[in-house]
Structure 1
Amino acid sequence: MSAQIILPRILQVGDGASQAAPDILLSLNCSRPLIITDTIMVELGYVDRLRDALSAQQISADVFADTIPEPTVGSIMAGVERVRAGNYDSIVALGGGSPIDSAKAIAILGKHGGSMRDYKFPRVVNEPGLPIIAIPTTAGTGSEATRFTIITDESNDEKMLCVGLGFMPVAALVDYSLTLSLPARTTADTGIDALTHAMEAYVSRKANAYSDSQALAAMRLIGPHLRRAYHDGGDTEAREAMMLGATLAGVAFSNASVALVHGMSRPIGAFFHVPHGLSNAMLLPSVTAFSVPSAPERYADCARAIGVANLDDSTEAANRKLLAELVTLNDELQVPTPQQFGIDYDQFMSVTEEMAIQAINSGSPGNNPRVPTHDEIVNLYQALWIV
C-alpha cells in the first residue's frame, strides 16, 4: 500500500537559513508579508533582524506580535482581523510552535473566513490559505514541517486539532543559530516534545516506510544531544543536531501520526495551561510502558536509535533500557509532576473523565499500538499522581 508524503515546498536547513526569507518571498512572487511572532522575538531583536533583511530587498513587512503560548481562538482573532484589513499576500511565522500554529490558523481564517471550530478534525482542510514561510526558533514542535495546528477553544477548554494540506507551510527555514538563546527549561520541554514526535510516529499504526526513515533519523540526532543542549545552551553541535532532529520528527509524524501521548497531553494543556512539550514529558514514561507490550520490536528499535540499547540487546532488554531512560531523562531535565507543576489534585481528578473523552475524540489514541479504552486513559491520568 502506498503512502502520500506531504512536505514544505522549500526546506532550507543550517546556520543562517533564516536570512533566506527575502529571496524565498520574491521567488513566490510575494512582496507584502505579515510577520506573525510573539513579544519575546521582538525583545530578542529577531524581528528587527528579519525586517532589516526584508527591507534590503525592498520588501516592507508589518508585524503582529500578539500571539501567546498555547494559542486560543481569542488570541488568534486579532491576527485574523489584521489579515482581513490588510493587503497581505503572505505570512512569515517567526518563533516557536505557538506563533507558527497561530500563523497557520490565521492564514486559513484570514483568507476563507468562518470560525476555528469549522476547521476542526475530522474535517480535512486542503484549501490553501495565505502562503506561510515558517522560521522556527525552538527545536521541538516541528510545526514548520507539519500539516497540523492546535488551537484551544476557551469556551470548553478543548484543544482542537486541525489537519490538512492547507496548514502546511510553503517554506521552512530551519536555522539552529536562533535556538542558542533558549533557556534550559524551554530546551528540555521542546526537546522531549521532539523525541515524543519521533517515537510516536515510529510506533503509530499509520507509520510507513518514509515516516520510519525520518523518525529513526530524528531519534539518532535527539538521543545523544538533548542532554548536551540542556546543560550547555551554547553547544552549537548539539543545537544543530536538535534543530534538524526536531524538523525530521515533525516530518515523520506529519506523514504518519502522533498517538496516545499527544492525545492525552492536549487536554492537560487546555485545562491546566501546562506547556505542550512539558505535558508530553509528564506522560511519556507511563504511556510508553502501557504501550510497549503491543509493539515490543518497534519500541526496541527506538531504544537502539536513541542510543540506550545495543544491537545485540534482546527486544526485552532494549525495552527495559528504554523505559529506564525515559524516567532518568525526566529526572535529569527536571520535568515536574502535575503536583510539582502546581496543579490541584482534586481539580485534576475531577476532569479526568472529560480529558479522556477529549483525548479519544482527537483521534490520536486510535493510532497507538495499544488502543486504550476510556477507563484505561482515566487510569493513566490518575497514575500521574503516583510517580
Structure 2
Amino acid sequence: MQLDTLFRPSPVKEFTPLPRALLGPGTHELVGPEAKALGFKRSLVVTSGLRGTDIVQRIIDQGKYHGVDFVVYDKVESNPKDYNCMDAAEAFRENKCDSFVSIGGGSSHDATKGARLSLAHDGRSINEFEGYHKAENPDNPPHIAVNTTAGTGSETTSLFVITDTTTDPDNPHKYAAFDRSARVTLAIDDPVLFYECPIDFTAQCGIDVLTHASEAYVSRLDFTPALGQALQAVDIAAQYLRTATWDGRNLAAREAMMYGEYIAAQAFNSGGLGLAHSISHAVSAYYDLHHGINNAVLLPRVWAFNLPVAYRRFADIARAMGVDTTGMTTVRAADAAVEELVRLVRDLGMPEKLTDVKQDTYSKNRLGQGPTEFYQRSREIVGDEADVDRITRHTLGDSCVPTNPKEATYDTVRPLVEHCMNGDLDDLLL
C-alpha cells in the first residue's frame, strides 16, 4: 500500500489491535509461567546485554525454573541495524528455538520483530519489509517483550524501526515499518526494571513518550480513539518525568511513566506520528544518535513549526502540561505549550541543538562508533549546508511525514532542520 493512498483524506480510519499486556510492579517475575503457558520450550533472548545489571540473568533464571530453556543473543545496538535482525534470526535457527523473549527497550523489541518477519519468509532480508503491511506470511514465532525503559512503546505497537546498512555509505537509510504480524504475543511492563536506567537515559526515553503523545494528538489523521490517550500521556510526562529522571527510585514516578509510554504508543499506533520522528530517523541514520536525544532537540522546533495549523490542539497540550491558560487567547495558550516544553528540556539537562551533542556525553550516544565505515567517520555533527541538505532529504522520504499536520516540503523543512542543527532555543520564546 502506498503512503499517499494510506493517508488520503477518508472517512475510513484503521484501528490497529494491540497485544495482551501485563503491567505493574513485579510483572517481570511472570515471564516464566507465561512462557510455559504459551508453550515455549527453547527461547531466544534478544537484548543489548543491559550491561551493569542482572536483569537478563534474573529473567532467565526464573524462566528456567518453569522449564523453559534459553539461548542469548545480546548484540543488539541502539538504533537496531538490519544485521541485528538477521543475526538474531540465524541464532534462532541454529539453536532450534521456538520462541523469542526480548528484554530491553525499543531496540531489542524492534530487532526481534524484524527477526520474526525474516524467519516467516525463508530468511529474506528485513529491509524488504520497509513500508506498510509487507508481510505475506502472518505466521511467525511467538514473542514476549519485557520492557526495561519508559520510552518507545514498541512492546505494544505494530511499528519497528531499522537502520539499513546495505545502502551507499554516504547515504545511509533508517526507516519505520508497520506490519500487523509484527505485534508481540505478550508485553510485560514492570516499572521496577526501570530503576536501572541512567539519569540521562531516563530523560531521553521520557521525551520520546511526550513526542509520541503530542504527535498523535496533532496528527492530520485526527483519529478520535487516539486523542484521549495522547493527551493523558502528555499530562503524565509533564507531571512525572522530572521526578523519574532525578529520583529514579521513586516508584510512583516510574510507574506513571510506564503507563504514559504505554498509552502514548497505543495512541500513535493508530493515530500517526510526524516530523519530529522523521527528522530523528534521518539524524540517527547519519549519526547513530539515540532517538530520545534527537527528540529533545527537535520537538520544541517541530511544535513551533506546526503551531499555525493546530493552535487549538497545542492549547490543549499546554493545559495538559499544567499551564494556567486562564485569560489567554487560543494562540497565546498554544505558544505557552512551546515555552513549557523548552522549560522541561532544560530542567532535564538535555542538549539544546544537535551540534551540542559530542562523543561520550550521553549514556546511549553512539556518535563516531559502530561497525560500519560511515558511523566510524561520523565523529561529530557537522551542521553545515551539506549536512542540513542531506538530513532534510532523508526526512522528506520518511513514512511519518504524511501524518504531520502541516505540509512538509523541502523549502519549509530545510530551515527547520537548520535550526535544529545550529539554532538557539530562545528563538522560540516570546
Q: TM-score, normalised by structure 1?
A: 0.95
> What amino acid maps onto 1:366 in structure 2?
P
Matched, 1:68 2:72: no
Please state whether the residue corresponding to 1:382 is helix, strand or coil.
helix
> What amino acid maps onto 2:284 in structure 1?
G
**How far 1:310 sits from its partner (Å)?**
4.2
**How far 1:287 sits from its partner (Å)?**
0.9
- Give yes or no for contact 2:115–2:126 (8 Å, CA) kept in 1: no
1:137 counterpart (148, 172, 194): 148
Which is helix-richer, 1 or 2?
1
Percent identity at matched positions? 31
**How far 1:110 sits from its partner (Å)?**
2.5
Structure 1 residues 55 and 318, CA, compared in 2 at 3 Å: closer, same or farther?
same
- Give yes or no for contact 1:198–1:216 (8 Å, CA) kept in 2: yes
Who is 2:386 aligned against? 350
**How far 1:176 sits from its partner (Å)?**
0.5
2:231 counterpart (216, 225, 232): 216
Please state whether the residue corresponding to 1:244 is helix, strand or coil.
helix
Who is 1:22 aligned against? 32
In 2, Cα distance between the equivalents of 1:124 and 1:205? 24
Who is 1:376 aligned against? 412
For structure 1, the 5+ residue unaligned runs are none
In 2, Cα distance between the equivalents of 1:314 and 1:280? 28
Who is 1:153 aligned against? 164
Who is 1:295 aligned against? 310
> What amino acid maps onto 1:70 in structure 2?
N
Please state whether the residue corresponding to 1:91 is helix, strand or coil.
strand
Matches within 5 A, 1:35-54: 35-40=45-50, 43-54=52-63
In 2, Cα distance between the equivalents of 1:89 and 1:344? 42
Structure 1 residues 120 and 344, CA, compared in 2 at 3 Å: closer, same or farther?
same
**How far 1:29 sits from its partner (Å)?**
2.4
**How far 1:86 sits from its partner (Å)?**
2.7
Cα deviation 1:261-309 (Å, max 9, x = unaligned): 1011111111112101111111101110010110111111111122224
How many residues matched?
386
In 1, Cα distance between the equivalents of 2:150 and 2:187? 13
1:12 counterpart (10, 14, 22): 22
For structure 2, the 5+ residue unaligned runs are 1-10, 359-378, 425-430
Who is 1:84 aligned against? 93
Who is 2:334 aligned against? 319
Cα deviation 1:146-200 (Å, max 9, x = unaligned): 1111111123421121111121111111100000121110011000011000000
- Give yes or no for contact 1:32–1:87 (8 Å, CA) kept in 2: yes
For the aligned residues, what is the CA RMSD?
Answer: 1.8
Matched, 1:185 2:200: yes
- Give yes or no for contact 2:287–2:381 (8 Å, CA) kept in 1: no
Who is 1:115 aligned against? 125
In 1, Cα distance between the equivalents of 2:155 and 2:268? 12
In 2, Cα distance between the equivalents of 1:213 and 1:365? 22
**How far 1:334 sits from its partner (Å)?**
1.7
Matched, 1:338 2:338: no
Please state whether the residue corresponding to 1:61 is helix, strand or coil.
strand
**How far 1:312 sits from its partner (Å)?**
6.2
- Give yes or no for contact 2:104–2:149 (8 Å, CA) kept in 1: yes
Cα deviation 1:14-72 (Å, max 9, x = unaligned): 0011122122223322222111111225x411111111111121111111111111111
> What amino acid maps onto 2:98 in structure 1?
D
